[in-house]
Structure formats: C-alpha cells, structure tokens
C-alpha cells in the first residue's frame, strides 16, 4: 500500500466523527423523535408488519450473510476470490467484532430509548448519552443502535475489498450505509432509538473495520500470513 494512501481512511473516519459530534451538539434527537411519536407513544412500535419487515427479516438476513462470510474464508465465492485468505478473515471477523462492540457499549449504557420517555408515555426523562453515570429513570441499555449494526457491521468490508476490488468495495460500502440508515430510521419511527444512536453505531462499526484492516495489513507486511493464502499481487518480492 502506498504511503500516501494510508491517511485517507483515517481522514474519512475523523471527518465522520466530526459530523456525528455536530449532530450531538445540534440537539435534534428529540425534535426528530417527536415527528414519529407523541404522548400516546409511537404508532409503529408494535405494528406486526412493520416489525417483521424492518426488524425480524433484516436481523436473520444479517446473520445468514455473516455465516456466509465465515464459510468464504475457506471456500471463497464471487468477488471474495480476489482477496487473500487473511482479507477474507478480516471481512468476516470485523463484521462480527462490530456487532459485539455495539452490543457491549449498548449493554453498559444508562441511556433509555425514546419510547421510555415521559413525554412518549414512559417514565424516563431525557439525558444526553454524554452524561456518563447519570441515570434517566428508565431501563437504559439503548445507546448506540443495536439493530442498525446488523447492516453497519459490514462497513469493514470496504477496507478489505478496496485494494483488490475497488468498484465492488464502493458498492459494498453504499449497500451497508443505505441498509444501516434504513434500519436505523425504522427503529427511530418505532421509538426504539434516536438519530444519534444510529450515527454512533455506524461510526463505531467503521472504526472497528479500520482497526481490523490495520491489523491485517501489519500481519501481511510482517509475513505472518502464509504465502499460499495470498494472491500474487500481495506476495512479497
């Protein structure tokens, strides 16, 4: 990898972080939630067709996709044939690690969901997720967006694909972003999350993907990945 290209993913990651922080500063989480809910709660919270289409089916599809990526480490298919085994492992492992990372943060968070707020029929009051250790009177465990990570977890695929298959990497990135935003917005309209929860989930998954890519590049440069597992483009001279 040319040295001049190395800062680009980091620069994009830092720029994305700035945008997420700007959203936090804007204070638009609650106004957006009020578009979907009111004192009676959120109309789509328990709508069976909406829940099935935007929650149950995507969740199962995501786990099936992840299983396919792990199978492809040993038996690659499609564009994954262009990748070294280490890169295929990187793709699968960063997807799984992203889901785990979001889940770990979510399960230690004191932030409650919008549907738990008093103004939407719950018992909690709104507290910023930056107010660490401050309880809002609700059940918490709602930050960041866990369901959106079912799609955002695959953002790491861009890092794995961008050298061997840049066009496929671009499509992969676009698909993960669009799917994640759709799932995030669907959950917001159910009252399950704020916009900031979705944005932070996306950024955290992208950061995990970047870290996974850095580790894989280091291992390949250090020669800890077997030559037989590496395409000719990556074998050291």
Whether residue 169 is contained in a domain is answered as yes
Whether residue 228 is contained in a domain is answered as no
Whether residue 39 is contained in a domain is answered as no
pLDDT tens digit at each of 237 positions of the chain: 444 444 578 888 999 999 999 999 999 999 999 999 999 999 999 999 999 999 999 999 999 999 999 999 999 999 999 999 999 999 999 999 999 999 999 999 999 999 999 999 999 999 999 998 899 999 999 999 999 999 999 999 999 999 999 999 999 999 999 999 999 999 999 999 999 999 999 999 999 999 999 999 998 888 765 444 444 444 433
Whether residue 181 is contained in a domain is answered as yes
Whether residue 32 is contained in a domain is answered as no
225 and 86 Cβ atoms separated by less than 8 Å: yes
The total of structural domains in the chain comes to 1
Whether residue 26 is contained in a domain is answered as no
Whether residue 229 is contained in a domain is answered as no
pTM: 0.90
Whether residue 14 is contained in a domain is answered as no
Which range of residues forms the domain containing residue 153? 84-109+144-223
């Amino acid at each position: 990898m040319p040295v001049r290209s190395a800062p680009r993913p980091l620069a994009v990651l830092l720029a994305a972080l700035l945008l997420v922080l700007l959203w936090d500063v804007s204070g638009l989480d609650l106004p957006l939630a009020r578009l979907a809910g009111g004192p009676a709660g959120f109309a789509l919270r328990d709508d069976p067709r909406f829940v099935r289409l935007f929650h149950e089916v995507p969740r199962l599809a995501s786990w099936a996709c992840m299983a396919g990526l792990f199978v492809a480490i040993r038996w690659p298919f499609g564009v994954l044939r262009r990748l070294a085994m280490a890169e295929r492992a990187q793709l699968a492992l960063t997807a799984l690690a992203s889901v785990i990372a979001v889940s770990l943060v979510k399960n230690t968070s004191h932030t409650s969901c919008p549907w738990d707020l008093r103004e939407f029929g719950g018992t909690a009051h709104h507290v910023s997720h930056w107010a660490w250790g401050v309880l809002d009177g609700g059940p918490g465990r709602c930050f960041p967006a866990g369901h959106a990570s079912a799609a955002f977890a695959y953002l790491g695929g861009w890092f794995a694909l961008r050298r061997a298959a840049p066009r496929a990497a671009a499509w992969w990135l676009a698909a993960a972003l669009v799917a994640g935003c759709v799932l995030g917005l669907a959950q917001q309209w159910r009252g399950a999350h704020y916009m900031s929860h979705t944005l932070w989930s996306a950024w955290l998954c992208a950061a995990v993907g970047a870290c996974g890519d850095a580790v894989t590049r280091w291992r390949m440069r250090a020669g800890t990945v077997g030559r037989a597992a590496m395409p000719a483009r990556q074998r050291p001279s």
